[in-house]
Amino acid sequence: MIRAIIDTDPGIDDAIALLYALRQPDLEIAALTTVAGNIGLDVTTRNAGAIAAMAGVCVPVHPGAAAPLGREPRPETGIHGDDGLGGIAFPAPLAEPSSLHAVEAMHSLLTSAPEASIDVFCLAPLTNIALLLARYPQSAMRIRRIIAMGGALEEPGNMPSGAEFNFGHDPEALMQVIASDLDITLIPLDATRQFRADAAYIADLRAMGKAPATASADLIAAYFAQTAHQSKTAESRPLHDPCVPLFALHPELFRVTERQVTVEPDTGRLIPGDRLLRVAMGLDARGLRGELRRGLAV
């Protein structure tokens, strides 16, 4: 059994990642913590609760940082829509968000559990993790490992600066996390762009006849509609964030190498440096599509 906290900014692909993660019997999700990223904090927090309700799971949702460290938020409504979920209807959250801030919740969970028994899955800018490191460094070091969707090494990024969104949204947070001794595995765009959904996959998900799979099909269809102008990738779209829980449960479907990187301070781009990280640079897309489809129908 893997026990994890998921830090997220839902977000279309976050939503699919959460629907998958929350339904897997081998994953125990202790909490969802939210952050400003794809959309503002109030919306990412509401969405996290709504996604948990869709998954049929009661899990605490703890709102965290409403803005990056020292920068303005840069929501991506052009991709995720004004509601962050591409206009797809979700049920109302089963409970109000917790009044406990994400950083306090992480601290409390990490100190009340055995050391190195909790993973943190990062699907969003790393603001909350940097705040945890700053406020409770000893608690942060109790994290078993961080698995983060972020960065682009050989691939171009997806922001005008050349950075990947999660890392370019809050470079200061990324620098603090990279500077720590945390055990980090990155799943950058180099890998996630290989894990793609097309119209046939949307149809496959619908054919499963289960609410999380149907909602995921609707979310991917909305993602296509939102990004219809991106003609170069008209046939398929990448599923970034689902790679994180998929990696946790199925590392055999990823090709992981070690890379030495540092952070370009202005942009949050990863450039050659001296921090050794494990990085997933390749994956078995067919195997992962099958596993995601199965996992969304349990």
44 vs 98, beta carbon nearer ligand BDR: 44
Which of positions 168-227 make contact with ligand BDR (CB under 6 A)? Answer: none
123 vs 175, beta carbon nearer ligand BDR: 123
User: 3-class SS at 199?
Assistant: helix
126 is a site residue for Ca ion (CB under 5 A): no
Stretch touching ligand BDR by CB under 6 A, among 89-97, 110-118, 162-170, 172-180? 162-170
Stretch touching ligand BDR by CB under 6 A, among 27-35, 54-62, 161-169, 193-201? 161-169
Using a 10 angstrom Cβ sphere, with 0-12 exposed, 13-18 middle and 19 or more buried, the burial of residue 138 is exposed
Which of positions 61-90 make contact with ligand BDR (CB under 6 A)? Answer: 76
Do 80 and 44 contact (CB within 8 A), yes or no?
Answer: no
* Strand stretches in the chain, DSSP E: 2-8, 27-34, 61-63, 118-122, 143-149, 184-187, 196-198, 236-238, 254-263, 270-272, 275-283
CA dist 273 to 206, 260, 262, Å?
Answer: 45, 5, 4
Query: What ranges in 65-101 are assigned the alpha helix state H?
Result: 77-80
Which of positions 8-27 make contact with Ca ion (CB under 5 A)? Answer: 9, 11, 14
How long a stretch of residues is the chain?
298
CB of 42 to Ca ion, least distance (A): 16
CB of 231 to ligand BDR, least distance (A): 20
Do 247 and 280 contact (CB within 8 A), yes or no?
Answer: yes
101 labelled catalytic: no
Do 61 and 98 contact (CB within 8 A), yes or no?
Answer: yes
7, 119, 218, 241: residue in contact with ligand BDR (rule CB under 6 A): 241
CB of 10 to ligand BDR, least distance (A): 8
123 is a site residue for Ca ion (CB under 5 A): yes
164, 170, 218, 264: residue in contact with ligand BDR (rule CB under 6 A): 164
Footprint on this chain of Ca ion (rule: CB under 5 A) = 9, 11, 14, 123-124, 241
